A and B are shown apart, each in its own frame.
Chain A
């Protein structure tokens, strides 16, 4: 493997292969290996769903993740002793990019990139032994119990209460915006265990079994007609003390650790590259007065704007990955990855909806579900684009809104 010099990420881009990094021979070999693996293991059906934003089933995610596990590629970001790959930053980047380009469903982050690092850093040996292998094998589906109706950007004001009662906590409260909770059997959850002192110092981090009395999952319909987020009601839910991660009232610290971990995936560079490719294909198919939209100078310049932003984003991602492998945490600047990453993603959805012109109007939510076999209205590529545009407005809201990300940078980097 090549030695990763500190300025190595600044390698230039090939002109012939737009948006491709110049790779070293061994990296090219690795890329080909990943590409072949994705091609072999992703069916046309799943590839299409991933690319178009049609709904992926639980099984679609799980079958892919199980193949990744068998190959040993489920957790590239983990330390090798827990089942990580030991890849260089460039390899991790290539891996993400090839998975996205090949239409692999995104690996569900709640387990492998969110709760796992917290368990590794602060969990008990028993928790590590039990949960980490199960996460690698996708035997559990995790969801995140953070936000509450009254606690969004101001997460530390959360009120879901956990009261210690012998060897377990009794938990009462409501979580919201819980993505894919309908599939989950486990939730990592921030709860209030103390009202003393600073609000941040009365929060604990619990692992909650979703399949028990008192846990109710209620879907929330969003503006695009989908139901991927939920309210989760917790009524006298019993959580054994051994399911608390780390110390009582230290949950906020762990949650912050989680936020500072593996931030590069939120930038979704590979996914955005794949979507730009799709945008170009669609813009080549759409015609106005006999000329393809892709040859329209104004439209090309808008694509160029986004591609340039994406190149800048990719460069920052590579730098952060490089720092990470040198043992340096990403630091609060990683918030830029979230801001720019979501801006790029949203920018692409805007150009997609522009590209399809009049066919942004029809709305047949069932057409995005499994088993819908009717003829599409208008071109096949059009049907999911408008819903996707509206759905993707969530990206600048979730995971700490982009305003909160700017607050973090202002405070932690600029010292305001």
Chain B
């Protein structure tokens, strides 16, 4: 396990930081959020040109074959500017699921086009009552000749309205919470029988509630073995958790900087409020929270590609717990130290706080991952 960036990672980090600094300021982001679909397609093209979309995709499918740490480096930079483009949905979840579960034919057909930015994916998995249980799947897929007929509801599907394909989990066997019996399907979003209700999320992204009403999917669109998808899903979601933590590390970094800048400049009682030790110590706590969370995140990112299941679980859950705690502390204290200004929509700090809070509330919050960790101590 290495604790320093390679030369390539340094270059990647610099170019992604440069993008955020030059092309992704607070006002630009605000405009992007207001656009149709909630992100900027020109940025997506740029990501493709820069090789960022190809980063975790295997070389034989037009990718760069990067490691989880490489992707973490990129996402940390994205986090610094709260980039809203659908990297998590399309690459971290979509492409990775396709890559881990799909057959050679499927991978050759879709992955190159994903890497080029021409095909967008979205992971339709969580259901209205599933909370954080990845195996809580009620959506049913029933075999009918050469096809499957899919019925069910999916919840908080990020970037669904702009996706060309859904990677959809459905139950082909067993009961709601069973690990066995879940199958993944690649479903064109234009299929008939799909009803979508889209909305903004509180952290500036887009998501949808989706009803699948007797949606017909050809059996060649099954990804991986029938009934065995739980393991793929768990692995990919574990990696996604670490990469969300990486994004959070970037967001925390900016949130701490914004707060420190603010208290250095805001004057009350004839001096910068940052001259008061009580506030300095709180800024120090914020900085420490960020540093610990980031360190643990990279450790998990380094471990995830090589370790066994229980080591992976420990690494991932530890990182997610630490991120949840640190994100909460930094978000809440960031607002508090900004005072009333921190409450306004015009100041960036609140937007960082909201994203950090929502990263905690996806794929398991602090409590969930603490329990998961506790099961294997």
Seen from chain A, the residues whose Cβ lies within 8 Å of a Cβ on chain B are 147, 150-154, 157, 176-177, 220-223, 225, 229, 286-290, 296, 298-299, 350, 353-354, 357-364, 377-378, 386-387, 389-390, 393-394, 396-398, 401-403
Q: How far is the CB of B52 from chain A (nearest CB, A)?
A: 25
Cα–Cα, bound, A373→B345 (Å):
26
Interface size on B, residues (CB 8 A): 50
Determine how close the nearest CB of chain B comes to the CB of A335; give it in whole angstroms: 15
Indicate if the CB atoms of B332 and A393 lie closer than 8 Å. yes
Tell me if B197 and A363 are in contact (CB < 8 A). no
Q: What is the chain B residue whose CB lies nearest that of A394? A: B343
A354: B residues at CB distance < 8 A: 361, 365, 367
CB distance from A203 to the nearest CB of B (A): 16
Q: Which of B126, B202, B278 has the most CB of A within 10 A?
A: B202
Q: Which residues in A have their C-beta under 8 angstroms from that of B268?
A: 151-154, 157
Residue of B nearest to A361 (CB): B201
**Could you tell me if B132 and A357 are in contact, using CB atoms closer than 8 angstroms?**
yes
**Chain A residue with Cβ nearest B209:** A377
Contacts of A223 in B (CB 8 A): 335, 343-345, 350-351, 353-354
Closest residue of chain A to B338 (Cβ to Cβ) is A397
Interface flags, B182-207, vs A, CB<8A=1, else 0? 00000000000000010111110101
**Alpha-carbon gap, A289 to B368, bound state (A):** 12
Asked whether, in the complex, the Cβ of A298 is within 8 Å of the Cβ of B344, the reply is no
The answer, yes or no, to whether B269 is at the interface (CB within 8 Å) is yes
Pairs A–B under 8 Å by Cβ, sample size 11: A153-B339, A221-B345, A223-B345, A286-B131, A353-B357, A361-B201, A364-B199, A364-B200, A390-B350, A397-B339, A402-B336
| Interchain nearest-CB distance for B220 vs A (Å) | 31
CB distance from A174 to the nearest CB of B (A): 13
Chain B neighbourhood of A154, CB < 8 A = 268-270
- Scan B87-124; emit 1 where CB is below 8 A from any A CB, else 0: 00000000000000000000000000000000000000
Chain B residue with Cβ nearest A407: B278
When chains A and B are docked, how far (Å) is the Cα of A270 from the Cα of B56?
54
Beyond A157-B268, A401-B339, 11 additional pairs, beta carbon < 8 A: A222-B350, A223-B344, A289-B177, A298-B371, A299-B367, A362-B201, A363-B200, A377-B209, A390-B357, A397-B342, A403-B278
From B328, B342, B346, A221 is in contact (CB under 8 Å) with: B346
**B residues less than 8 Å from A397 (CB atoms):** 335-336, 339-340, 342-343
User: Which residue of B130, B132, B340, B371 is within 8 Å of A177 (Cβ)?
Assistant: B340
Which residue in chain B gives the minimum CB-CB distance to A221? B345
**Docked complex Cα distance between A127 and B199 (Å):** 52
CB distance from A219 to the nearest CB of B (A): 11
In the complex, number of A-B residue pairs with CB atoms less than 8 Å apart: 132
Contact A390 B353 (CB under 8 A): yes
A222/B343 in contact, CB under 8 A: yes
Known: A152-B268, A223-B345, A378-B128. A363 touches B202 (CB 8 A): yes
Minimum CB–CB distance for B371 against chain A, Å: 7
Which secondary structure characterizes the binding site on chain B?
A: mixed
CA distance A345 to B335 in the complex (A): 16
B156 within 8 A of A: yes
Please determine whether B371 and A152 come into contact, CB atoms closer than 8 angstroms: no
Cβ 8 A contact of B131, one of A357, A393, A396: A357
CB-nearest residue of chain A relative to B203? A361
Instruction: For the complex formed, measure the closest distance between the CB of B21 and the CB atoms of chain A, giving whole angstroms.
Output: 24
**B132:A288 contact, CB within 8 angstroms:** yes
Q: Which 5 A-B pairs have the closest CB atoms?
A: A223-B350, A154-B268, A363-B202, A221-B345, A361-B201
- CB of A360 within 8 A of CB of B131, answer no
Q: Specify which chain A residues have a CB less than 8 angstroms from the CB of B177 in the assembled complex.
A: 289-290
* Residue contact A361 to B132, C-beta cutoff 8 Å: no
On whether the beta carbons of A221 and B344 are closer than 8 Å, the reply is yes
B358, A361: Cβ atoms under 8 Å?
Answer: yes
Interface residues of B in 129-148 (CB under 8 A from A): 129-133, 136
B372 within 8 A of A: no
Closest to A393 in B: B335
Cβ–Cβ < 8 Å partners of A358 in chain B: 126, 130-132, 155-156, 361-362
Nearest opposing residue in chain B for A403, CB measure: B278
CA distance A220 to B341 in the complex (A): 10
Interface check B370, CB cutoff 8 A: yes
Q: In the complex, what residues of A have CB within 8 A of residue B133's CB?
A: 288-289
- On chain A, the residues within 8 Å of B155 by CB distance are 358-359, 378
**B135: nearest residue on chain A (CB-CB)?**
A289
Residues of B with C-beta under 8 A to A386: 202, 357
Residue of A nearest to B128 (CB): A378
Please indicate the chain B residues that have their CB under 8 angstroms from the CB of A403 in the complex. 278-279
B344: chain A residues at CB < 8 Å are: 220-223
- Report the minimal beta-carbon distance from A357 to chain B, rounded to whole angstroms: 4
Q: How far is the CA of A154 from the CA of B362 in the complex (A)?
A: 40
Q: A289 contacts which chain B residues (CB < 8 A)?
A: 133, 136, 177
Within 8 A of A (CB), among B286-345: 328, 332, 335-336, 339-340, 342-345
Q: What is the bound-complex CA distance between A299 and B131, given in angstroms?
A: 15
Residue with the greatest number of chain B CB neighbours at <10 A, chosen from A288, A296, A353: A288
B362 surroundings in chain A (CB, below 8 A): 358, 361
Residue among B131, B269, B365 with max Cβ neighbours from chain A (10 Å):
B131
Closest-CB distance, B156 to chain A (whole angstroms): 5
Option from B202, B267, B350, B367 in Cβ contact (under 8 Å) with A361: B202
Q: Is the CB of B358 within 8 A of A360?
A: yes
Is A377 a contact partner of B345 (Cβ separation < 8 A)?
A: no
Q: Is the beta-carbon distance between A287 and B339 smaller than 8 angstroms?
A: no
Return A128 CB to nearest CB of chain B, in Å.
33
B199 touches A363 (CB 8 A): yes
Is the pair A360, B202 in contact by a Cβ cutoff of 8 Å? yes
Given contacts A152-B340, A153-B339, contact A360 B354 (CB under 8 A): no
> CA A157 – CA B344 in complex, angstroms?
22
CA–CA, A237 and B367, complex, Å: 55
Cα distance A151–B371 in the bound complex, in angstroms? 46
Kindly provide the distance from the CB of B205 to the nearest chain A CB, expressed in whole angstroms: 8
Shortest beta-carbon distance from B336 to chain A in Å: 6
**Residues of chain A with a CB closer than 8 A to B200's CB:** 362-364
Assess A287 versus B358: contact at CB under 8 Å? Given A223-B343, A362-B199, A390-B350.
no
Complex alpha-carbon distance, A357 and B128, angstroms = 10
B267: chain A residues at CB < 8 Å are 150
The reply to whether B367 and A298 contact each other, CB–CB distance below 8 Å, is yes
Q: Is the CB–CB distance between A357 and B367 below 8 Å?
A: no
Q: Which chain A residue shows the least CB distance to B358?
A: A361
Q: Are B126 and A222 in contact (CB under 8 A)?
A: no
